Structure 1
Amino acid sequence: MQFKRPTKKQPSEAIIPMINVVFLLLIFFLMSASIAAPPPFELTLPKAANNAELGAEFTLYIAQDGAISTAGLYNDAVWQNLAETTPTHIAIRADQDASAGEVAGILRQLSTLGVAQIDLAVTAK
């Protein structure tokens, strides 16, 4: 009597662990990445010898023509937002070709709003 030999099943590839690893890598890269909004204007920061980290509540952008922006708001809406939130620490990212008079006027307005500390963002030489 002849018996049929059972056919050997090919082991299926274990794809579930591979999917788990891909999702874990995705989560790792999303958690470790610093996602920041792009600046609202194209800026060329002034150069300085020291480039320290800025740890401000708000970042105020000043364009070459004197336009200002923060948190997706522009010009007059920025001042209204700053008056409502009253931050004490602001970082300024001003274009290197921005008028010194414009920047000085903005600094004056910030001091009247009660901003105690202002950091100026620069690039290292």
Structure 2
Amino acid sequence: MRLSRPDRRARPASIVPMINIVFLLLVFFMLTATIAPPDPLQVQPPVARGAAATEGREVTLHVGADGALMIGDARAEAALAALAALPDGTALRVNADAGLDGAAFARLLGRLAAAGVTELSVVVAAP
């Protein structure tokens, strides 16, 4: 007497468990996400009137960790000379390396004031 098993065909793999896992991950990430708090005041910023209002009004000064200066193609003292040649009212944006010594940055600010810079903003990274 011979006992044999009936011929069973393999069922295709179900994707329902994978859908369940993806859904659970989606819910997990939605619940743990940081939601930005609302602004304390509703502020309507002013609107510039055309491209000419901001064109050529801001220059970026790059400062390396070793104190090297660069504006466009001008480097070192030529960069400071380029600042002195800028028209009045031009805003200066300082993009300094985080490794720059604070005392060196303070000396640079004095040199910028001597070059006639009256408006300055410093680029920083968000924490």
TM-score, normalising length from structure 2? 0.51
Query: Residue 99 of structure 1 corresponds to which residue in structure 2?
Result: 101
Q: How many residues end up aligned between the 2 structures? A: 71
Provide the rounded CA distance (Å) in 2 between the counterparts of 1:76 and 1:111: 15
Alpha carbons of 1:110 and 1:66: their partners in 2 closer, same or farther (altered >3 Å)? same
Match of 2:118 among 105, 116, 119: 116
Query: Residue 57 of structure 1 corresponds to which residue in structure 2?
Result: 58
Query: Residue 90 of structure 1 corresponds to which residue in structure 2?
Result: 92
Provide the rounded CA distance (Å) in 1 between the counterparts of 2:117 and 2:98: 22
RMSD of Structure 2 on Structure 1 (CA): 1.7
Alpha carbons of 1:60 and 1:87: their partners in 2 closer, same or farther (altered >3 Å)? farther
Unpaired segments ≥5 residues, structure 1: 1-54
Alpha-carbon contact 1:91-1:120 (below 8 Å) kept: yes
Alpha carbons of 1:121 and 1:100: their partners in 2 closer, same or farther (altered >3 Å)? same
TM-score, normalising length from structure 1? 0.52
Rg larger in structure: 2
Higher relative contact order (CA 8 A, sep 6+): 1
Alpha carbons of 1:96 and 1:87: their partners in 2 closer, same or farther (altered >3 Å)? farther
Alpha-carbon contact 1:60-1:70 (below 8 Å) kept: yes
Q: Read off the aligned partner of 2:116 and give its amino acid letter.
A: G
2:85 partner SS? helix
Provide, for residues 24-49 of structure 1, a one-character-per-residue CA deviation record: whole Å limited to 9, x for no partner. xxxxxxxxxxxxxxxxxxxxxxxxxx
Provide the rounded CA distance (Å) in 1 between the counterparts of 2:116 and 2:125: 27
Q: Read off the aligned partner of 2:68 and give its amino acid letter.
A: A
Query: Residue 47 of structure 1 corresponds to which residue in structure 2?
Result: none
Query: Residue 69 of structure 2 corresponds to which residue in structure 1?
Result: 68
Provide the rounded CA distance (Å) in 2 between the counterparts of 1:69 and 1:94: 10
Q: Read off the aligned partner of 1:105 and give its amino acid letter.
A: R
